[in-house]
């Protein structure tokens, strides 16, 4: 009896996993026509010093936006100079670009602890997305992710590169909700 119950449970679990493996992911929704979006990624240390953003992060974000028919235009990084608050940075970017959409990704990474021979970093991400037509009401997504790095010399850029998959997923969801959702609303 017990063996039958265990076997039945194992078969049910196997069948469920097999069916779940057949489920595909839906391709990202796309805008009807290519639309420019100004993108700036800003990385800083816990002390507020600006750090270099790894190219892999910018490339991953560009691919995600391109999959939704958004053409990435490099936003003017100089517009962020001397601005510390997110809303001030976003206002400066809107003023400095002609793109109909503006996205600001702010990342702050700080060392947390050493666990089991790995170096744990906390990466706080804030993505702000705004339409030039609605510049006063940006949509914001906040995310905090742990990065586990192997070497002591790795710092903020490597921590951001480690969490780029979560960042890309978050940006994709924000764009789908705001940009693609607004495009669908205009088509009705």
Average pLDDT over residues 2-22: 60
Q: For residue 81, give its domain range.
A: 32-108+125-143+163-187
What pLDDT digit, counting tens, does each position of 112-154 carry?
999 888 999 999 999 999 988 887 788 999 999 999 999 999 9
Phi/psi at 165 (nearest 5 deg)? Answer: -65, -45
Residue 24 lies in a domain: no
Structure pTM?
A: 0.80
Give which of 100, 28, 92 is closest to 65, Cα–Cα.
28
Bridge partners, 103 (sequence order): 39, 129
Number of domains in the chain: 1
The answer on pLDDT for 188 being more than 50 is no
Give which of 74, 90, 73 is closest to 35, Cα–Cα.
73
CATH of the domain at 92: 3.40.50
Residue 104 lies in a domain: yes
Find the range with the poorest average confidence among 3-12, 68-77, 140-149, 157-166.
Answer: 3-12
176 vs 167: CA distance, rounded Å: 14
The answer on pLDDT for 184 being more than 50 is no
Let me know: does 159 contact 147? Beta carbons within 8 Å: yes
Give which of 108, 107, 125 is closest to 47, Cα–Cα.
108
């Amino acid at each position: 009896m017990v063996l039958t119950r265990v076997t039945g449970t194992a078969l049910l679990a196997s069948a469920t996993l097999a069916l779940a493996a057949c489920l595909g992911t839906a391709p990202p929704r796309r805008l009807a026509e290519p639309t420019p979006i100004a993108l700036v990624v800003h990385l800083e240390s816990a002390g507020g010093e600006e750090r270099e953003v790894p190219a892999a992060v910018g490339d991953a974000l560009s691919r995600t936006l391109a999959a939704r028919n958004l053409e990435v235009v490099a936003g003017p990084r100089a517009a962020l100079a001397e601005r510390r608050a997110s809303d001030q940075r976003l206002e400066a970017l809107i003023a400095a670009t002609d793109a109909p959409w503006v996205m600001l990704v702010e990342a702050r990474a700080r060392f947390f602890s050493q666990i089991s021979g790995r170096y744990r970093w906390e990466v706080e991400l804030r993505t702000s997305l705004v339409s030039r037509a609605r510049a006063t009401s940006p949509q914001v997504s906040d995310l905090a992710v742990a990065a586990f790095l192997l070497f002591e010399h790795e710092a903020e850029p490597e921590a951001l590169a480690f969490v780029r998959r979560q960042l890309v997923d978050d940006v994709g969801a924000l764009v789908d909700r705001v940009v693609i959702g607004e495009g669908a609303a205009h088509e009705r």
